[in-house]
């Protein structure tokens, strides 16, 4: 069977199931229109709960995280702890203890909460744009012009330079602790190894194969393949761990519109957060 599949793939390219790209379910996060709120981030935890990050640029005191269970019922909301100062509270990662990790940009803070919204800890990180958690449980932070790895207690373990933020950075760690950094203001993503050495850049400006127009959030398959949201092209790229374009997983033909972030749930399905508030779950 394996030989047959390899022979078919060599002739026709990757063979995927007919159900690949099928919309399984969707729901809409209630967002204000004035001032405008958008979905900036989405992730899932081991229970299959979906967490969405709401961003309001005109009034950042409104920034918050919603938590939905597997029935898509709202279970709770974590509000901006710096609402009085209207500081930039955004980003979502899940740590080894199933806690929610986020950041507050102006106050230079990484903040950790339980899923019930109880504060666990806060530590300093310089101009944090986005945060991820690697396989060692360490916090990997994309700063405005740096990339930094923090110990679980917040201590800095290593840091390096990363290009200056243009719009809003996203970050993700794969199974090998490679670090993927993206920014919709760039025409590429950057992939670093676990020692913070730059391995490669992927993407150029455009709408063809291997081209992007506002690269946003990423996630990874177990084999290291990268899934990248391509905002203005309304599609998802599938990229090898070495940075080679494989194919488009989803596009406007699948009903995708302005995807800002993507995650994989416990069933192996793609969870896509669209700017306008739609959360869509697709068969991979």
Domain CATH code at residue 45: 2.120.10.30
Angle at Cα 236 formed by Cα 205 and Cα 76, nearest 5°? Answer: 120
Number of domains making up the chain: 1
Which DSSP string corresponds to 188-203? SEEEE-TTS-EEEEE-
Smallest Cα–Cα separation from 186: which of 199, 204, 200, 161?
204
Residue 92 lies in a domain: yes
- For residue 10, the surrounding DSSP H or E stretch is helix 2-12
Q: What pLDDT score does 228 carry?
A: 98
**129 occurs within a structural domain:** yes
pLDDT tier for residue 95 given thresholds of 50, 70 and 90: very high
Q: How big is the CA angle at 167 (ends 107 and 190), to the nearest 5 degrees? A: 100
Q: Is the pLDDT of residue 4 over 70?
A: no
How much is the pTM? 0.91
Q: Mean per-residue pLDDT for 15-41?
A: 85
The token pair at 239 is 């990229």
- Asked if residue 68 is part of any domain, the answer here is yes
112 pLDDT above the threshold of 50: yes
Residue 6 lies in a domain: no
Q: Is the pLDDT of residue 17 over 50?
A: no
For the stretch 155-197, pLDDT in tens is 999 999 999 999 999 999 999 999 999 999 999 999 999 999 9
* Residue 177 resides in a domain: yes
**What's residue 86's pLDDT?**
83
Q: Is residue 136 part of a domain?
A: yes
Q: How many residues can be counted in the chain?
A: 284
Residue 18, pLDDT score: 46
Residue 14 lies in a domain: no
Model confidence at 65, in pLDDT bands (50, 70, 90)? very high
Show the domain range for 172.
22-283
For residues 112 and 94, give the distance between their C-alpha atoms in angstroms, rounded to a whole number.
9
Mean pLDDT across 124-128: 95
| CA distance readout (Å), 13 to 5, 23, 162, 168, 176 | 10, 23, 35, 35, 26
Q: What is the CA radius of gyration of the chain?
A: 18
Assess if residue 2 is contained within a domain. no
């Amino acid at each position: 069977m394996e030989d047959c599949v390899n022979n078919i793939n060599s002739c026709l390219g990757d063979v995927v199931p007919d159900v690949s790209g099928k919309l399984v379910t969707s729901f809409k996060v209630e967002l204000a229109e004035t001032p405008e709120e958008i979905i900036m981030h989405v992730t899932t935890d081991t229970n299959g709960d979906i967490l969405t990050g709401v961003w309001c640029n005109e009034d950042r005191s409104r920034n918050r995280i919603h938590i939905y269970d597997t029935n898509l019922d709202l279970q709770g909301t974590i509000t901006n702890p710096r609402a009085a100062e209207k500081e930039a509270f955004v980003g979502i990662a899940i740590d080894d203890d199933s806690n929610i990790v986020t950041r507050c940009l102006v106050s230079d803070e990484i903040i950790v909460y339980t899923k019930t919204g109880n504060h666990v800890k806060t530590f300093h990180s310089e101009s944090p744009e986005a945060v991820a958690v690697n396989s060692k449980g360490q916090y990997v932070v994309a700063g405005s012009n740096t990339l930094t790895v923090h110990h679980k207690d917040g201590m800095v373990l290593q840091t390096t330079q990363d290009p200056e933020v243009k719009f809003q950075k996203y970050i993700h760690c794969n199974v090998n602790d490679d670090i993927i950094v993206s920014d919709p203001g760039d025409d590429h993503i950057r992939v670093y190894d676990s020692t913070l050495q730059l391995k490669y850049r992927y993407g150029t400006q455009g709408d063809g194969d291997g081209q992007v127009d506002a690269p946003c959030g990423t996630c990874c398959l177990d084999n290291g393949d990268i899934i990248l949201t391509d905002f203005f092209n309304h599609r998802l790229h599938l990229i090898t761990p070495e940075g080679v374009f494989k194919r488009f997983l989803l596009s406007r033909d699948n009903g995708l519109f302005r995807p800002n972030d993507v995650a994989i749930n416990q069933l192996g399905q793609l969870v896509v957060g669209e700017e306008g508030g739609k959360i869509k779950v697709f068969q991979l």
